[in-house]
Amino acid sequence: MIIMNAHATKREIAQVVDIIETNGLRAHLSQGDERTIIGAIGDGRPVQRDQFLHLPGVDRVVPISRPYKLASLELHPKKSFFPLDGLIMGGNEIIIIAGPCAVESRTQLLETAQAVCEAGGHALRGGAFKPRTSPYSFQGLGEEGLEYLAEAREITGMPVITEVIAPEQVPLIAKYADVLQIGARSMQNYALLHAAGASQQPILVKRGMSATIDELLMAAEYILSHGNERVILCERGIRTYETATRNTTDINAIPVLKALTHLPVILDPSHSTGNWEYVTAIARAGIAAGADGLIIEVHLTPEHAYSDGGQSLKPERFALLVEQVRAIAEAMGRTVAPKRTCPSRI
Amino acid sequence: MIIMNAHATKREIAQVVDIIETNGLRAHLSQGDERTIIGAIGDGRPVQRDQFLHLPGVDRVVPISRPYKLASLELHPKKSFFPLDGLIMGGNEIIIIAGPCAVESRTQLLETAQAVCEAGGHALRGGAFKPRTSPYSFQGLGEEGLEYLAEAREITGMPVITEVIAPEQVPLIAKYADVLQIGARSMQNYALLHAAGASQQPILVKRGMSATIDELLMAAEYILSHGNERVILCERGIRTYETATRNTTDINAIPVLKALTHLPVILDPSHSTGNWEYVTAIARAGIAAGADGLIIEVHLTPEHAYSDGGQSLKPERFALLVEQVRAIAEAMGRTVAPKRTCPSRI
Amino acid sequence: MIIMNAHATKREIAQVVDIIETNGLRAHLSQGDERTIIGAIGDGRPVQRDQFLHLPGVDRVVPISRPYKLASLELHPKKSFFPLDGLIMGGNEIIIIAGPCAVESRTQLLETAQAVCEAGGHALRGGAFKPRTSPYSFQGLGEEGLEYLAEAREITGMPVITEVIAPEQVPLIAKYADVLQIGARSMQNYALLHAAGASQQPILVKRGMSATIDELLMAAEYILSHGNERVILCERGIRTYETATRNTTDINAIPVLKALTHLPVILDPSHSTGNWEYVTAIARAGIAAGADGLIIEVHLTPEHAYSDGGQSLKPERFALLVEQVRAIAEAMGRTVAPKRTCPSRI
Amino acid sequence: MIIMNAHATKREIAQVVDIIETNGLRAHLSQGDERTIIGAIGDGRPVQRDQFLHLPGVDRVVPISRPYKLASLELHPKKSFFPLDGLIMGGNEIIIIAGPCAVESRTQLLETAQAVCEAGGHALRGGAFKPRTSPYSFQGLGEEGLEYLAEAREITGMPVITEVIAPEQVPLIAKYADVLQIGARSMQNYALLHAAGASQQPILVKRGMSATIDELLMAAEYILSHGNERVILCERGIRTYETATRNTTDINAIPVLKALTHLPVILDPSHSTGNWEYVTAIARAGIAAGADGLIIEVHLTPEHAYSDGGQSLKPERFALLVEQVRAIAEAMGRTVAPKRTCPSRI
């Protein structure tokens, strides 16, 4: 939709029409009392809106088509769901993923997995390769961490989710993990999105720190365009001017995503608040807003965590969260997936 | 807390200490390996942090005291509540305020009030003086609107809340309304805050479009400093880069405010989303996060509303919202205040 | 421009057309391959976009007309300028306004005015009524401050600019000041904008902390709609996530405003940076970007200022700023207005 | 710096002190009238601030040390500069890099290079691997594009800068390009930062779309930590609520970076405005604010560009920009590097 300025001449209008037709599209003129508006009508292929901004007489260009197709609920009006180790992601049951920010040691991970299971968590998270703001911070245990994750899955039966930060890691991580996580900082790492898409593994895509909802859907579109349909979207807070919390939970994103896409949507209240005191309240809010699941940071001794201690819950608080989320889910006419049978204390 | 730079000299440190003591405070030095930090210790009076930024050797100044006192939960650890026409604001019961954005006519208001009452709303909102972005938009019915509000209260028994936009209006509006609303655009209109504080009427303070949580509490502090303790805080969405919704609901603000202040906190999901499709989901989320109430825009025929039609609920959808919010409140161990006895159809 | 969703029926389209025509506008359909778009064509009066959001089949509504008329360069293609005590605001010459944040005492103001004059400043700023975040901070000298400003004008010949914070103050302040300032926190205080417009005095409108450029122009439109054409716009920094500076100077706003409006545009680098160390660099940038003037905070002893000391320049640094700005102005083919004849030392 | 709350007990304070000492640091208590503050004093190693947030009695933790060391001007008070194909980056001379957003064809690139050279540009930019929001957009010519860049350098003598988007591309791109660009979307792609650092090639780091200035410096720190000292920082606009321009140029970042780091700082006004109409004004502003260089998108026929056409300058406008920037540089007591001897028309 090209909006001409109030003084655009007939010649200027004709030139815009000409460029539209050169692109294989049809031009449609609306003559207002103040200005002319020209629609570029076609098959939904994105037009280079920038092409028109240099033409004399053009005031603005307003895009009409939404840029994502495969992720669109309008075009694919059936909700997506898929099985995940005995769970259904995207169904009526709420799935709760939990675990430490980083895998710190074998003992730490196995004990945390046990605690998560006992508290009612369904899947295990834990970072082996950590993207850190500082080169001087702990960067993760690497493949050793992946081995501990695999062992924890073996023992507890919980599927495992872990972050991948470079395209060449995808095959390695796919060997160990059930779900590959694309972190917030990687949401527009297109080489990584292509590699993740090609892996055909389930992918959890976290929203970038200042990504729009449309950009999050375009990141999903990269993965979907490889025929990989098992994509989970995750709201994890956005960057705003407010500094009372680490990020601002964009709770609106939950119903907006539910209206725009068929993909499952979960919330990460640990990162979206950055403070353990607020995690449970925001977890409840996420489920009340319609999220399909949660991903929560849990640590046995947060005051000794290598990273994110301030936003990690101790197991007993996490158990409380599961209980409260269950009550909210039931008030919504949903349920939380049932507690797993956990191994006896290791 | 004054942080010196790594190369600060003894003389520069002495000058900072000197200025602190001139202000009637005590200076406290912490000598790190890299730099010196100087605390200004006193009776909680705010120090002019700007005073130090010009002194040689000073790197940064970090404020330690929180600037609000009367609004602080830490200093006043008992939750505030107060009666409002048979309701308790700030108690265990959730209060739902609803009504049109603007009072458009007597019939519109009375019929909407009836519908709000029947759907389970507890108090009536409606703007008589409207702050509008455009001088060409409908600016409200003025005192005529106030009269209709008073009539609606008479008929339905519901307390009435309406916005005040200039200090000299306060006495007039206080004559008609039970609660005076300070709108988002007026949150830092200090002349208005003083006048509202002095009125001794209950005041609903909406968070400014880009106000921090601390600034919202400072606005409350203005009112409290007049001895007016009946202040309600309202999260109504903040301005961020995301354009999929009119504002971004800062859901984190609910538990953060609950941790910082003793004042009741409510949510306005109509403005915080700007789209009726998302209002109910975000209303549920607000209660799940711990809000004490809601304020909701309701219109009989939103497609003909003079303003905010896109974010107004029709009465039947509002009734659904009340029902769903009730379920969430009960899951939280709270209740929604009981439905009022409504007049028979007017 | 109403964008229907991909599955909109003929009946739904007809209903939208119907509502458009009920509003006295013409409907214009563009039938794309994917969806239909309906233009509402009329005389430039704003349509209630919200009206359409409730109609079935409607996906989005995109406004086309710009909401401001009197402020528009497109509709009024001649740059505005006006005389101000021997200066021309909006002409080729750069005008530099300077002075303390707040009038603190007679001596402080007169000495600062003298220093501003000697350094090459052209007009004097100084707050008598101060909007402060905290009720416990210095709130200004009030009318006493206005008297000192008038005295400083008497002595130095410089026109005086001061802030007005409540509608009922306008007549009082108009008696003392040459230009009334609408502060950032008041940019959407519509009662105040109306009063300022009606006064027929020159008005400086500061951009709100999170106001869009369109909203700033709408604030100007309020004043212009009273037939008051002497309006100056001021960029003073916006609120973003970046905390390294108090605000983020939206330097883009300078050329954007120059492209959208005929009104003069100035920059306040004191507030837009919040740190005296950066003020001069950003003042230069503002002029290089095309601003018509600057407003700068100057204090004789910033370390003892009652407010904004950290962003105030000492007179000798301000003199340097004027010199550097002069060099930039000349590189741009403009000049800085000539230095005034200052009184001999008081 | 750990701030205890007003009611913290002696036991709670002792526990914080204990954890500090367990970390090999010294604790320093400041006892205020209202609350106690505990400093953790050590050798500048970052402390896990999160560790303290779970301890009873702790209100907040405020970091004091800046997290970057190698990039810090305070610790390395000599400005960095380095030769670049006959130019000095970071010296008194302004360097102007220009070229198309994407390499589209051999002819396009060679003709643009010629035009850039003739207009007074000093180095050539052009993307061979393009990070694009949509998987359906042009993704660049890949290695073929690199070959054209090398050919353009051969012919014009201009050093070449191009973006690298995945760690495994670094060796390939280092073979063809003089400077590797880390794009805004990759600023926190730590695998890529490590690979770029290890390459020992000059690196241009663009600020992420919502990165703080501290995070930009931490990205540089990753590269510097490999002993690679040839790092250029680039402000390219940040994401804010303002939609009148594609991004908001954070012009404050120029003097702030100059105050915090010894590294050269340049500005990209093409991306920071997103609109060719504003590029020249903001380029002038950048130089006036103290930038050491510019990077500008130039296209022979922007209306046919594959990407970023709307923000690309035609060569004749770019020539005008160089001329105007030269005037500003001279007003600042700097110069623009001299025009190169260009090849005769190809």
Cβ–Cβ below 8 Å for D39 and B31: no
Q: Give the model confidence (pLDDT) of D274-315 as tens digits.
A: 999 999 999 999 999 999 999 999 999 988 888 888 899 999
* Confidence grade of residue B242 (pLDDT, cut at 50, 70, 90): very high
Among partner residues B51, B136, B239, which is closest to C309 by beta-carbon distance? B51
Look at residue C5 and tell me whether its pLDDT is greater than 90: no
Mean pLDDT, all residues of chain B: 93
Look at residue C176 and tell me whether its pLDDT is greater than 80: yes
The share of chain A scoring above pLDDT 90, in percent, equals 75
Q: Is D213 on the interface with C (CB under 8 A)?
A: yes
pLDDT at D37: 87
* Confidence grade of residue D44 (pLDDT, cut at 50, 70, 90): low
DSSP 3-state assignment of B268? coil
Q: Is D335 on the interface with C (CB under 8 A)?
A: no
Query: Average of pLDDT values for B144-152?
Result: 97
Nearest-CA distance D37 → chain B (Å): 9
CA distances from C30 to A39, A42, C56, C225 (A): 7, 11, 18, 36
Look at residue D67 and tell me whether its pLDDT is greater than 90: no
pLDDT at B53: 80
Q: Is residue D152 within 8 Å of D338, Cβ to Cβ? A: no
- Min mean pLDDT across A166-180, A248-262, C3-17 is at C3-17
Look at residue B38 and tell me whether its pLDDT is greater than 80: yes
- Residues of chain B contacting residue A249, judged by C-beta atoms under 8 Å apart: 250-252
Mean pLDDT, all residues of chain C: 93
Q: Is C42 on the interface with A (CB under 8 A)?
A: yes
B contact chains, 3+ CB pairs < 8 A: A, C, D
* Confidence grade of residue C54 (pLDDT, cut at 50, 70, 90): confident
For an interface test with D, the pick among A23, A172, A189, A313 (most D C-beta atoms closer than 10 Å) comes out as: A189
The share of chain A scoring above pLDDT 70, in percent, equals 97
- The residue with greater pLDDT, C256 or A130, is C256
Mean pLDDT, all residues of chain A: 93
Distance CA B325, CA B327 (A): 5
- Residues of chain C contacting residue B137, judged by C-beta atoms under 8 Å apart: 46
pLDDT at B27: 87
Q: Is D216 on the interface with A (CB under 8 A)?
A: no
* Confidence grade of residue C44 (pLDDT, cut at 50, 70, 90): low
DSSP 3-state assignment of B9? coil
3-state secondary structure chain C: CEEECCCCCHHHHHHHHHHHHHCCCEEEEEECCCCEEEEEECCCCCCCHHHHCCCCCEEEECCCCCCCCCCECCCCCCCCCEEECCEEECCCEEEEEEECCECCCHHHHHHHHHHHHHHCCCEEECECCCCCCCCCCCCCCCHHHHHHHHHHHHHHCCCEEEECCCHHHHHHHHHHCCEEEECHHHCCCHHHHHHHHHHCCCEEEECCCCCCHHHHHHHHHHHHCCCCCCEEEEECCECCCCCCCCCECECCHHHHHHHHECCCEEECHHHHHCCHHHHHHHHHHHHHHCCCEEEEEECCCHHHCCCCHHHCECHHHHHHHHHHHHHHHHHCCCEECCCCCCCCCC
D124: enclosing H helix or E strand: strand D123-125
- Residues of chain A contacting residue D45, judged by C-beta atoms under 8 Å apart: 136
Q: Give the model confidence (pLDDT) of B332-343 as tens digits.
A: 999 999 999 999
pLDDT at B157: 95
User: What pTM value is reported for the model?
Assistant: 0.94
Residue B155 structure tokens? 């008929």
Query: Average of pLDDT values for B214-228?
Result: 96
| Residue that has been written with the tokens 């005034």 in this structure | C340
A contact chains, 3+ CB pairs < 8 A: B, C, D
Query: Average of pLDDT values for D265-281?
Result: 97
pLDDT at A141: 94
Look at residue B191 and tell me whether its pLDDT is greater than 60: yes
Nearest-CA distance A30 → chain C (Å): 7
Look at residue B250 and tell me whether its pLDDT is greater than 90: yes
Nearest-CA distance D75 → chain B (Å): 8
Nearest Cα residue to A308 out of A341, A252, A342, A268 = A268
pLDDT at A43: 60
Mean pLDDT, all residues of chain D: 93
pLDDT at B335: 97
- Reported ipTM: the value is 0.94
Query: Average of pLDDT values for D33-53?
Result: 73
Q: Give the model confidence (pLDDT) of C198-235 as tens digits.
A: 999 999 999 999 999 999 999 999 999 999 999 999 99
pLDDT at D275: 94
- Residues of chain A contacting residue B267, judged by C-beta atoms under 8 Å apart: none
- Min mean pLDDT across A47-56, A302-311, B227-236, D259-268 is at A47-56
pLDDT at A47: 59
Residue B41 structure tokens? 């210790």
Query: Average of pLDDT values for A300-329?
Result: 93
* Confidence grade of residue B48 (pLDDT, cut at 50, 70, 90): low
D74, amino acid identity: E
Angle between helices A276-289 and B253-260 (to 10 degrees): 140
DSSP assignment of B120-178 equals T--EEE-BSS---SSTTS----THHHHHHHHHHHHHH---EEEE--SGGGHHHHHHH-S
Among partner residues D190, D215, D305, which is closest to A165 by beta-carbon distance? D190
The share of chain D scoring above pLDDT 90, in percent, equals 75
Q: Is D17 on the interface with A (CB under 8 A)?
A: no
Q: Is B28 on the interface with D (CB under 8 A)?
A: yes
Residue A249 structure tokens? 């939970």
- Residues of chain B contacting residue D7, judged by C-beta atoms under 8 Å apart: 74
Look at residue A319 and tell me whether its pLDDT is greater than 80: yes
* Confidence grade of residue A300 (pLDDT, cut at 50, 70, 90): very high
Look at residue B346 and tell me whether its pLDDT is greater than 70: no
Distance CA D137, CA B63 (A): 48
Count how many pairs of residues, chain B against chain D, have C-beta atoms within 8 Å.
65
Look at residue A249 and tell me whether its pLDDT is greater than 80: yes
Cβ–Cβ below 8 Å for D6 and B74: yes
Nearest-CA distance A64 → chain D (Å): 15
- Pairing status of strand B265-267 against strand B293-297: parallel
- The residue with greater pLDDT, C53 or B163, is B163
Cβ–Cβ below 8 Å for C278 and D249: no
- Residues of chain C contacting residue B239, judged by C-beta atoms under 8 Å apart: 210
The share of chain B scoring above pLDDT 70, in percent, equals 97
Q: Give the model confidence (pLDDT) of A75-123 as tens digits.
A: 899 999 999 988 999 999 999 999 999 999 999 999 999 999 999 999 9
Look at residue B46 and tell me whether its pLDDT is greater than 70: no
Residue length, chain C? Answer: 346
* Confidence grade of residue B189 (pLDDT, cut at 50, 70, 90): very high
Q: Where are the beta strands (DSSP E) in chain A?
A: 2-4, 26-31, 36-41, 58-61, 82-84, 87-89, 93-99, 123-125, 160-163, 179-182, 203-206, 231-235, 265-267, 293-297, 335-336
Q: Is C131 on the interface with B (CB under 8 A)?
A: yes
Query: Average of pLDDT values for A200-220?
Result: 97
pLDDT at D201: 97
DSSP 3-state assignment of D76? coil
pLDDT at C48: 66
pLDDT at A5: 87
Cβ–Cβ below 8 Å for C252 and D289: no
* Confidence grade of residue D232 (pLDDT, cut at 50, 70, 90): very high
Query: Average of pLDDT values for D178-198?
Result: 96
CA distances from C126 to C113, C115, C298, C334, C345 (A): 10, 14, 10, 27, 20
